[in-house]
Structure 1
Amino acid sequence: MDRSLRKLEHIRHALSAQEMEGSVFDDVRFVPNSLPDSRYADTSLICDLGPFRLSSPILINAMTGGAEQTTQINRKLAIIARERGLAMAVGSQMAALRDPTVRHSYQVVREEHPHGIIFANVGAEATVEEAQAAVDMIEADGLQIHLNVMQELLMPEGDREFRGYLERISSIRESVNVPVIVKEVGFGMARSSIQELVGIGVDLIDVGGKGGTNFARVENMRRTEPLVMFEEWGLSTVESLLEASCATGLTTQFIATGGIRNGYDAAKALALGASASGIAGAMLKCVQTMSLEECMEAVDMWHHQIRIVMTALGVKRVSGLSEQPLLITGKTAELARLRGISLERWAQKK
């Protein structure tokens, strides 16, 4: 199938492939502070992600591009990012590297957000030359390399060859002229994969857990014979962050993407060790169903919710959330037990 048509099918199915059941973020609770000695006006959302100084810990994560009809979606997303000071990633640019006629569907982001932090995006099958071309295409500040093995296996026209990923990621990281983020696409990451990436010098990892858009379900919607048993594949974002806590190098930072429904979930992800929270599915729903002004109001509300948490806990800076004790229960706690992850240290922080 033509890549442009595939991109349109992905957009069409994405909203109906959102997880509808309770989120694993509901397994995470803050320990309240009745004497926070704080003031809402003193809270700041400014934070650091590697070399990037962000005005918000929320970033608009990779969604789309590669078809003329997706240009307007990316234009709206870029306007929201510009008006609310958010970093933004484009969807996979592999389509534009193969077909230059769809490049504008990505370049529109830089046109609308000329001074913002923008991340390019390629698959782990990309060559060094393709990765640099993706960066140059949108004058990107960083590059996401996405991993989506299960999605490719379920995609009727997807890849079936996954050898050499780690070596290519290493070559790209060493060669391109911007920082590299390695990103899982909705299936989460175990500590072994994280440790392998840390071992080749990757400093920024997006754990991309299950809980948001279910890309196995998206591909099953496109199949004549769906393989529905694989729709439960992977680790949640919370589980992946717990895995990361056992596997990281001293300099590695994490982005939490997957199933973040609001600012409260984003604050929980930050408390679990993420440096930023990526939102994709919820933002796609905004631009598909609401006005630009309503979308920006939604971002304002997410920011407000994060600052409520910070004020209630007596935290002035986003980085301070990671010092707060957390209670982790339910299925997440059971998986942590099976994986040998101690939850007591989370509950006894500070």
Structure 2
Amino acid sequence: MSNHSKRKEEHLALAKKYFAIKENDFDRIELVRPALPESCVSPATIACEILGKKVKAPFYINAMTGGSEKSKEINRAIGKASRIGQIPFATGSSSILAKEKDQLASFYAAREENPDGLFFANVNPNTPASIAKNIVKELNADALQIHINTVQELAMPEGDRDFVWLDKLKAIRDEVDIPVIIKEVGFGFDKSSIDLLQKNDFHLIDLGGAGGTNFAQIENGRSSHPLPYLDELGLSTVKSALIAQDSGIDFFASGGIRNALDILKCLVLGAKSVGIANLFLQVYENGGEDGLVETVLRFEDELAGLFALFGINKVNEATKVKYALTKGLWKEFIQIAVDD
């Protein structure tokens, strides 16, 4: 096993070790529910179109893994669950394929299980544009996530120390002919970075906010010289969503999603879709692919129920739901965060 594949395996083990369903900023949003919604529970209300493809629900299985034998089976289960649930899906970073082409099967397993679904490939910004283009072709991807993960890299013993990435992002975008999603990995987006992306013609981000998997913590768990203060960095998914909302950029929301109500809150804040990763990973670890399929279908049923409770008849109506920010999500913070 290569060092890169070994790192992938360590990430999976530590993601399980540190996983916890815990309080986060989603608990600080109170939605105003109509007592008389005049609605019925229907799966049709949560169906929508994402990046030109029809899907059954506005959430997706987000990037987790690939590049090792264990991750091949996880990706196969992800593909099956996304096919049965008719939702988008992503694999983890496939940048390993630049040097280890024999790991292609560990990623393609997901696409094999769901050949017609909406699929996101994933690379890091240092992936040569030509390699990224080839990965997109090999995996038959509908969109490409480019993950930006400076905090993780600094915590990673063998991580990058050069974070001059903008031109590399542009080079990859200009080389591929599918939508590009700039994705954080658990530390969220600030206003200035969103503005910089918009000025350079990037118009879709995945917030990847704090509140769920903490990759600084995971890398510190691998390091003989950990930097534990990095664990505390990052903007929550909710704070990032409020900042993105103010910026007017299209965004997917991910990071710390625990249940269907959190999905709804993301949609209320303006997310086009909602990504879930580690929660689904742990469901798979404990219940196998059948457990993963059951959870995806249950989330769809529960979200349709919540839509009925709030009188929402289609996904883009969710932003009409009124809400209050409580217990720490004070307006002063948001004002500071969005001021130029």
State whether structure 2 residue 238 is matched by structure 1 residue 233: no
User: Residues 185 and 225 (structure 1 numbering): CA distance in 2 closer, same or farther, change over 3 Å?
Assistant: same
* RMSD, matched Cα: 1.7
Distance 1:47 1:149 in 2: 33
Please report how far the alpha carbon of residue 338 of structure 1 lies from its aligned counterpart in structure 2 after TM superposition.
5.4
The question of whether the paired residues in 1 share the 8 Å contact of 2:147 and 2:182 is answered with yes
The question of whether the paired residues in 2 share the 8 Å contact of 1:207 and 1:240 is answered with yes
Where in structure 2 are the equivalents of 1:203-282 lying within 5 Å? 203-248=203-248, 252-282=249-279
State whether structure 2 residue 282 is matched by structure 1 residue 285: yes
Q: Which amino acid aligns with 1:36?
A: P
Match for residue 299 of structure 1 among 284, 296, 300: 296
The question of whether the paired residues in 1 share the 8 Å contact of 2:205 and 2:251 is answered with yes
The aligned counterpart of 2:80 is 79
The aligned counterpart of 2:175 is 175
Match for residue 324 of structure 2 among 324, 327, 335: 327
Identity of aligned residues (%): 36
User: Residues 335 and 99 (structure 1 numbering): CA distance in 2 closer, same or farther, change over 3 Å?
Assistant: farther
Please report how far the alpha carbon of residue 52 of structure 1 lies from its aligned counterpart in structure 2 after TM superposition.
3.6
Distance 1:15 1:219 in 2: 13
Partner secondary structure for residue 183 of structure 1: strand
Distance 1:149 1:191 in 2: 17
The aligned counterpart of 1:348 is none
Q: Any idea what the Cα deviations from partners look like across 1:141-199, whole Å, max 9, x if unmatched?
A: 11110000000010001111111x11121222222111111100110001111111111
Distance 1:291 1:9 in 2: 20
Structure 1 runs (4+) greater than 6 angstroms displaced: none
Distance 2:306 2:68 in 1: 40
Partner secondary structure for residue 60 of structure 2: strand
Normalised by the length of structure 1, the TM-score is 0.92
The question of whether the paired residues in 1 share the 8 Å contact of 2:261 and 2:306 is answered with yes
Distance 2:265 2:258 in 1: 11
Distance 2:328 2:19 in 1: 20
The question of whether the paired residues in 1 share the 8 Å contact of 2:79 and 2:89 is answered with yes
Where in structure 2 are the equivalents of 1:57-206 lying within 5 Å? 57-163=58-164, 165-206=165-206
Q: Which runs of 5+ in 2 are unaligned?
A: none
Distance 1:30 1:253 in 2: 22
Normalised by the length of structure 2, the TM-score is 0.95
The question of whether the paired residues in 2 share the 8 Å contact of 1:57 and 1:277 is answered with yes
Partner secondary structure for residue 44 of structure 1: helix
The question of whether the paired residues in 2 share the 8 Å contact of 1:124 and 1:147 is answered with yes
The aligned counterpart of 2:309 is 312
The question of whether the paired residues in 1 share the 8 Å contact of 2:242 and 2:334 is answered with no
Q: Which stretch of structure 1 is more off in the superposition, 287-296 or 262-271? A: 287-296
Q: Which amino acid aligns with 2:30?
A: R
Please report how far the alpha carbon of residue 42 of structure 1 lies from its aligned counterpart in structure 2 after TM superposition.
7.1
Distance 2:190 2:316 in 1: 24
Distance 1:192 1:54 in 2: 32
Please report how far the alpha carbon of residue 8 of structure 1 lies from its aligned counterpart in structure 2 after TM superposition.
0.3
